[in-house]
A and B are shown apart, each in its own frame.
Chain A
């Protein structure tokens, strides 16, 4: 019953976010600030993780393809499929749920604890629109981060394959181009937009409706990471079934 109530409250919050918009002149600045904070601020960790994940996927695939009859190009093929379909959109989103999600919960939660949200409400400002809407818009840029993650992941795979001696560069690149279906990239981008919405709104919900003091802000950040991850994993399954099934 508690969970049902929370789900209902979450959807009411989403509705409120889009009501009574803040002046565009102010909103524009907020959106640019959030893009800088949530997207560009997370690029370092996304690039770092993607590079090494791509490398690990390549090494593991190469070690499992030890039959001499299987072409080395399959290593590139498997790396591309794994990175584009799953690692870039889903794995990166889980990392983002931790990095960006806890930032969102703690910043909004601190505003709640220090009565800054009450101050906005007293002034007659729709605090949900002012605080959450720019984050939703900013995270819609997330497919760009996922695209970079795909590129860097595959690059990491190529580096591991070539410099680790698992496959020659030509074979790996041939594998990357083998049976390429552009719809898989579209599928990954659709997933990433949906995940981005969850990454912006679930932590906002936990921050906005938190009660208590500084300790509770920390607890809310942890809870928001857990729930954002759960939501991403469920959505991943549903979207895969709907888009690829």
Chain B
């Protein structure tokens, strides 16, 4: 579980986060949504410890990040997995090398133990014949799956994803969403996803927080988002005609 208590973050004159508080529960897929520039990326980078909040606290399973020593912070980082928007795979390494990298860096496992673990996670993300290929030789969807495999290879307690299905076709995007959702439940991970994709919101949003101008404007579930009367949320989520119709149908069905 991650507890966020009133965090503020500024860059010079630009006050990006203006006091955001929320709780991300274990075993749930938590989504952060909002327009570009609303502070989502800064928020997720604060959660990752890449940015230190100017004010406020972030608590990981009862441990306040600001009170941890450098060594404790380093250990905590090893409990986090991250899937970047562009996958951020190491170009010079094969798929297998990318997934094995955290094991090489942080464990003293034998080569065969590491190989078994890599084979297992690659199979889990449905990548079987790509071990020896380089990131440039595989599709965007496969790169995302490799990034997920790399993020979960160390059995993380926390999984962060920055727009995991951007640039993917709708079918692959749904596959990636479902994969993250399944892994979250299977391994009881606290997952936080930063997304613009409304399909993700509807499909896997067990908890959604909507950021606007650096403030939490709304929070709820994917079912509650249909019913909300918050105009900022409805303007954002139901900006397309398709989603307006979906919402209309949902309301009519309920009545």
Contacts and interface: CB of A to CB of B under 8 A. Distances in A.
Contact of B82 (A110, A119, A125): A119
A219 B77 CA distance: 33
A110 to B, nearest CB: 8
A123 B88 contact: no
B109 to A, nearest CB: 12
B38 interface: no
Interface in B62-90: 73-75, 77-78, 80, 82, 84-86, 88-90
Given A115-B84, A115-B85, A122 B102 contact: no
Most chain B beta-carbon neighbours within 10 Å: one of A115, A118, A119: A119
Contacts, number: 45
A116 B91 contact: yes
A116 B93 CA distance: 12
A22 B88 contact: no
Given A22-B105, A123-B77, A123-B102, A116 B50 contact: no
Instruction: Sort chain B's interface into a size bin.
Output: 20 to 34
Nearest to A25: B104
Given A116-B91, A119-B88, A122-B82, A26 B77 contact: no
B2 to A, nearest CB: 15
A123 B77 CA distance: 6
A116 B88 contact: yes
A122 B105 contact: no
Contacts of A122: 48, 50, 77, 80, 82, 160
Most chain B beta-carbon neighbours within 10 Å: one of A22, A110, A121, A122: A122
Interface of A: 22-23, 26, 110, 114-116, 118-119, 121-125
25 contacts: A23-B105, A26-B104, A26-B105, A114-B86, A114-B91, A115-B84, A115-B85, A115-B86, A116-B88, A116-B89, A116-B90, A118-B50, A118-B82, A118-B84, A119-B88, A122-B48, A122-B50, A122-B77, A122-B80, A122-B82, A123-B102, A123-B106, A124-B75, A124-B106, A125-B105
